[in-house]
Structure 1
Amino acid sequence: MSEPDNFILTLLREIRAEMKEGFERVDRKLVEHDLRFEGLDKKIESLKQAMHGESVLGRYASGV
């Protein structure tokens, strides 16, 4: 009876290794996406600041 047990354990180890590899790939992708979103957030914030500055400058120039 030891052969089926060993076969099952072997299959389970292979499944575990494949799952671990898949989760590692997902984790790497999440880190990449987080970095990308951080960059986009910085760009959006700088655009907001630029638009706010232009609106203040426009009000100042028009005397409002």
Structure 2
Amino acid sequence: MRDFLLFARLKISNYPLVHIKAKMMTLWRFVEYATVKNLTKKEKLLLSFWESPPLQETGHRDSM
């Protein structure tokens, strides 16, 4: 679900899934660089959940 939300934000949900997976790391670097200054607080929180390691999750994502 969090992947879908990120891709929906970037309006690339129509790309082939394999292409998205292949470009994942490059895409994330771009997102990290390009949206630091113009994300809302809610979106920053969402992205922080998206990139957090599973073992460090606090369970807040499940309540979304």
Bin for the TM-score computed over the shorter chain = under 0.3
Q: Which has the higher helix share?
A: 1
Compute the TM-score of the two structures, normalised by the length of structure 1: 0.24
Larger relative CO (CA 8 A, sep 6+): 1 or 2?
2
